[in-house]
Amino acid sequence: MEKIILDGRTVAKHVTEKLVDRVKELKARGVTPCLATILVGDDPSSETYVKMKGNACERIGIKSLRIHLPKETLTDDLLNVIEELNQDKSVHGILLQHPVPSHIDERKAFEAIAITKDVDGVTSLGFGQTAFGFGKYPSCTPAAIMEIINYYQIPINGKFAVVVGRSPILGKPVSALLLNGNATVTTCHSHTVNLSEIVKQADIVVAAVGKPNFIKGDWIKEGAVVLDAGYNKGNIGDVDYQECFEKAGAITPVPGGVGPVTISMLLKHTVISAETSTEQSH
């Protein structure tokens, strides 16, 4: 079996190229898709992420509305800003950059985002809809993982998938999406006993644990598909790439794997939101 490098840049390019025409069509109808990004405080890596997302929007003709609030901002102030954006008909997506300063109730802020504008999939309502199989905007990294699987036509029906990590915007929703695709899913985490033995049985491994080089080559079944959603300091994923590469049938690199597709999913969701709001107003 030929080993496949699951190249996220190729997948992201495929997604965004298709979006360009949809954005043009919306503009012809007098609608410019708009993503509002909210950054609270001045965390340098968060600033970089927000800038990257804004630039990605602008490249395909989506308006990027950047709102930068001081780190002293209180929860209520942030909720007021979100509510204004909810009411603003020209805004189609709202992204609150995580993490916010510790004195802010982040969950409360996420929940304040209108479901129709929750293009980053951070609300509990959005999560519930994703789990039920009718969510429009799954969290962007899980959506990216599914997009890579679909692009490379990796079969998931009846396969055994192991997700390592259970965060509410990555591990849990990707488990739900794989389950909806008829995989048999085991979600593992820091309390899982015999983790390596469980991973060894997997046809599909999703690494979403936030620890560099955590998943070792001898945990991987010969020919398994390995999707690394981790991104740690120094451009290192959650998977020991060199070791796992030897065993895997298909694997995402870091960088250039899940990351670029995550941003393209955010753009796609914003365009879908703009299309939906246009349909509803006509």
- Element spanning 5, H or E: strand 4-5
Question: Could you tell me the two tokens for 39?
Answer: 């950054």
Report d(CA 95, CA 139) in Å as an integer: 11
Please count the CA atoms within 13 angstroms of the CA of 227 that sit on its side-chain side: 34
Positions marked active-site: 53, 97, 120
Closest CA to 93 of 67, 124, 115: 115
Closest CA to 224 of 253, 203, 245, 238: 203
Report d(CA 73, CA 125) in Å as an integer: 26
For 119-137, the DSSP string reads TT--SHHHHHHHHHT--SS
- Element spanning 37, H or E: strand 34-40
